[in-house]
Amino acid sequence: MSGAELPVPIPPVAPEAKPFWDGAKSGRLMLPRCPQCSFVIWYPRQFCPECGQAPIDWFEATGLGVIYSFTVVRRGEGAYRDTPQYTLAIVELREGPRVLTNIIDCDAAQLRIGQAVRAVFCDAGESAALLRFRPLSVDDPG
């Protein structure tokens, strides 16, 4: 299943998360981190939900992670209604957060929990790109 076959719905971009979306647009994974308790926050917001600190800092993450869980959805809804099947997954980023995403450019039958993956960004309109992942390969050992 290649990335090109997947829908790329345009997410609503709120000012609060603009640094994340700007980063994604330029191919960089920008994450919010609490300057007080160092917690790496997901999903992005302008305060720390762990300790209440505001404002927060942004930093560039590695884009590396492992698959926490995955499934092949064979009955999509909404924008995915006409997509025969796609891989929905939760990836645990090296920096800690677990994010809902798609695994692309892969043979779904070969995927496994714990497998290493790298971030890829799929353009979604003028101000955002979707954070998706592809398996690490011999060419890209991470």
Q: Which of 5, 50, 60, 140 binds other proteins (CB under 8 A)?
A: 50
Give, for 22, the enclosing helix (H) or strand (E).
helix 18-25
DSSP state of 21: H
Count the Cβ atoms, other than its own, within 10 Å of residue 119: 21
For the segment 98-127, give every residue that binds other proteins (CB under 8 A). 98-102, 113, 124
Count the Cβ atoms, other than its own, within 10 Å of residue 3: 17
With CA atoms as reference, report the closest residue to 89 among 76, 75, 61, 108.
Answer: 108
Residue 44 touching other proteins (CB under 8 A): yes
**Residue closer to other proteins, measured from CB, 37 or 137:** 37
Residue 23 touching other proteins (CB under 8 A): no
CA end-to-end distance (rounded Å), the chain: 21
Residue 3 touching other proteins (CB under 8 A): no
**Residue closer to other proteins, measured from CB, 100 or 137:** 100
- Choose the binding region for other proteins from 3-11, 58-66, 134-142 (rule: CB under 8 A): 3-11
Residue 96 touching other proteins (CB under 8 A): yes
Cα separations (Å) of 105 from 3, 52, 85, 111, 135?
6, 39, 13, 11, 8
Q: Which of 64, 66, 90, 116 binds other proteins (CB under 8 A)?
A: 90
Specify the 3-state DSSP secondary structure of 101: strand
Q: Which of 19, 53, 64, 68 binds other proteins (CB under 8 A)?
A: 68
Distance CA 60, CA 7 (A): 26
**Residue closer to other proteins, measured from CB, 118 or 132:** 132
Binding site for other proteins (CB under 8 A): 6-14, 17, 39-45, 49-50, 68-80, 83, 86, 88-90, 96-102, 113, 124, 128, 130, 132
